[in-house]
Every structure is written in structure tokens, then in C-alpha cells.
Amino acid sequence: MDLFAANREEQLARRAPLAARMRPQALDEIVGHADVTGPGTLLRRAIETDRLSSVILWGPPGVGKTTIARVIAAATKAEFTSLSAVSAGVADIRTVVKEARDRLGMQSQRTVLFVDEIHRFNKAQQDALLPHVEDGTVILIGATTENPSFEVNAPLLSRAHVVVLTALDNEAIATLVRRALAEPRGLGDLRLDIDDAALTFLVNYANGDARWALNTLEWAATAVDLGGTVTEAIAQQAAHRRAATYDKSGDDHFDAISALHKTLRGSDPDAALYWLARMLERGDDPLYVARRLVRFASEDVGLADPQALPLAVAAQQALHFIGLPEGALALAELVVYLALAPKSNALYRAYSEARTDVERTRNDPVPLHLRNTPTGLMKDLGYGAGYRYAHDYAGGVVAQQNLPDNLRGRRYYEPTDRGFERDLAERLRRIRTLYAADESGEPE
């Protein structure tokens, strides 16, 4: 390393953001991931014995994916090289692989390749890695904030162990903030303190993101004199916004809508309101939420409360008409109504079974007596012959065959005893009794 390079490294070490300066240098400095990097864990043993195999580190921003990769770099006897999927391409991969192959042949030294944001590699780029991970030319460490099941090619995924890193808990964030205030590589030379309210604010707003917490602390420190105290007011000014851990197009979005749907199904209006607010306040498309609620009204409430569907459509129209933030109240009203409504999936099950029969059984012709008869020829062919007009019969009900022959007698809809379906069940019982007793279809 020449003098210019050495000076550049020194300046970067001194002037890097606080989160970068405070990166743990060893396994024992890592906080919040005892189940992954603690004593006796598989990953730790693999690092300490220098027997690491390919891994994918999956977790939200600021939880230590790059830190763990750097700790591995310091601990391993293998050559450590890194690529960013944001800027690297197939040519870069080929260069790394060639160097790794030469290194293995000439020095018997393995190569650990760290690929940050690996989900940004397209299929061709991931395929370029595959054979070299397969034969051990490189040991891959990939870091991603996206679900590897969807973003990493299945062949590559099958050759790597997925390590899940969860958001850091409040205690871990607080530990990192205090460490940054105390250590010289952090803000220790400034001899700053932080009051309890400011610490609580930073911890809560970090949402488990250590990088956000430390960089916000560094920004807050610029407003405090030497030896002073970071107060809650200063921390709030420095924060501006909560750490953005919610991904409205990724797993967070789908997990949240799943939580909303399932808490509605469980008749919990309080939890449902929380998940609704979390989606809307974190930037989800409100019309998407409205569409899912309309679906819920049919799927999980159904005819147990026939008012659920028109109310859902009305809420969607209100939202479309007035937008946010006012339209959120229309969705909130709907959510509470749906949570407290009697539940039935009888309609959902009935349609699913009917659809299955359409797909899996022969689609016999429509029975002649049910066919349309707009022309004389069609009448001559027997279309409509024998059709019985229900209004001519007692109670407006007449028994006749309404399904194709191969599905004769098939039943789909079986109402529950909840809500309005209790009344429908009794009416359906009487109708089916009539059908069973009067196979001839003669007028009463």
C-alpha cells in the first residue's frame, strides 16, 4: 500500500459515518444475535474453525449482515473479496473467479466472496456464480434484505445455508448507542451523555436498525457542546422520521396484509385497526387494502352478514372519492364492522367446490329445459321444453334438474348456523326437502 492509499484509509477510518466506525471487529462485540453468532452456534463454530461453507445472510437493514461478513474476513485464513450487486456484473464475477482459481492452484488458499445486496443480481449474474459455488472455487457469503425464496435462484439457494437475522431488540440498540458515546472510535472524545427520554426515543424510532440509530445519534451530537447531553428534543430534530423498515412491496407488505386478514377472521377489532394503521401510515396503497377488505367481506363473512359486502364497497368508494388521510376513517369503520360481524366461509367453500367440478369433471351440455330459445329452430330442437316456471308453483319453488347429468344431486352451499345464514339454512332445508320429495317436477 503506497502513502496515498494509506492516507486515504486513515481518513476514511476517521471520517466514516459513526455506524461504520462502530462496526464490531470480533464475534464477541456483536450484539443482538446470540442465536446466530453466540457461543456454540453453527455459524460461530464454522468461523472459528475456518470451515465456513456458503451462506446467505437475510435480514432487514441495519442488523449486521455486512458486519458479520467483515468479522468473517478478519477471522478466516481464506482470501476475502467483496462485490456489490448494485454495481458489479458478470465480468466482475469472472475476474474474481479466475483469481480464486489461480489462488487455489498456486497457494492452496480458498476464496470467500461477499456479495452485498445479492438480490440485485439478475438471473444471468446469479447463474454465473453457480458452478463456482458448486465446485468450491469460491465460498459465497450473500447479504440480502429480500426474501431469498423469491430473489435468489433455487439452484444457488440449494447450495447455501440461509441465516436469518432479525431486527435488533431495544436492549441491543441501547447497548450500541451507549457504546458509541463511550468509545474513542465513536463519540467518546466528546464526553457526551444522553438522557433517558432521548435514549428511549432513539431506540423506539430505530425499529431495530442499528445504522439508523447510530447515524441519528451522530447528527444529534453536532448540536451538543463538549461534555453536554443529548436531550429528547435534540434527538427528535435529528431523526426527522422513523427508520424505514417497512417495505411496501416486499415481505413486510404481505406479512402485514396477512396479519390484518387473520385478525379480522379472529374477530379482534383492536389488532385489526393496528395492522390497518401500520399499512396505511407506512405508505401502502390504500386502494389495495380496500380491495382486500372487499374480498374478506365475501370470503370470511359472506352471507352470515349480507351487509358486509355493500359496506365494503361503500368504504372503497368513499376512499376513492376523498382519498387519504380522511379516507382512512372509512376503512377503519369497515375494519371494525368486519371484525365484529358473524363469520362464515360457506360461500367461499361452495364456490371453490363448484370451480373444482368445472375443472375436473366433464362439462356436459346444459340440460335442454334450461336452454335459451330465441329462435323457432331452437324450439323445434327441444330447447326449453319441459321448463317449469317457478312463479307458477307454491312458494315460488319447483323441483327440477338444474345440473348436468353427471353432477345430478351435487351440493355445494352448506350454510352455517351463524348470523343471517341461520335463516338461510332453514330455508335451504325446506327447498332441498321439496326437491328430494318431488323428483317428478309435477305442479302442486
Note the pLDDT tens digit of each residue in 350-361. Answer: 999 999 999 998
Residue 271 shares a structural domain with residue 333: yes
Mean pLDDT, range 373-378, rounded to an integer: 83
Which cell numbers in the block locate residue 431? Answer: 327447498
Q: What is the CATH number of the domain that holds 263?
A: 1.20.272.10
Domain boundary among 239, 273, 289: 239
Say what the pLDDT of residue 7 is: 65
Contact present, 390 and 400 (Cβ < 8 Å):
no
Are the CB atoms for 139 and 53 separated by under 8 Å? yes
Domain total for the chain? 4
Mean pLDDT in residue range 308-334? 94
CATH, residue 395: 1.10.3710
For 112, phi then psi, to 5°, come to -100, 120
**Type and span of the H or E element at 275:** helix 269-281
Mean of pLDDT over the chain: 88
Does residue 76 contact residue 109 with C-beta atoms inside 8 Å? no
Per residue, what are the HEC states of 147-173? CHHHHCCHHHHCCCEEEECCCCCHHHH
Instruction: Give me the pLDDT at residue 244, please.
Output: 55
**49 plus 142 within the same structural domain:** yes
CA distance 39 to 21: 25
Is the model's pLDDT at 83 over the cut of 60?
yes
SS3 58: strand
- Give the pairing of strands 55-58 and 161-164: parallel
**Residue 26 burial class via C-beta count within 10 angstroms: exposed 0-12, middle 13-18, buried 19 and up:** exposed
Cell numbers linked to 165: 437475522
C-beta of residue 160 within 8 angstroms of C-beta of residue 142: yes
Residue 433 CA, chain-centre distance (Å), reads 48
Residues 203 and 269 in one domain: no
> What's the grid cell of residue 375?
329462435
CB 50, CB 76: distance < 8 Å = yes
C-alpha distances in angstroms, 183 versus 177, 178, 191, 192?
A: 10, 9, 10, 11
Residues 37 and 150 in one domain: yes
* pLDDT tens per residue, range 150-199: 889 888 888 899 999 988 999 999 999 999 999 999 999 999 999 999 99
Considering the domain architecture, whether residues 389 and 301 belong to the same structural domain is answered as no
Domain that holds residue 231: 170-239
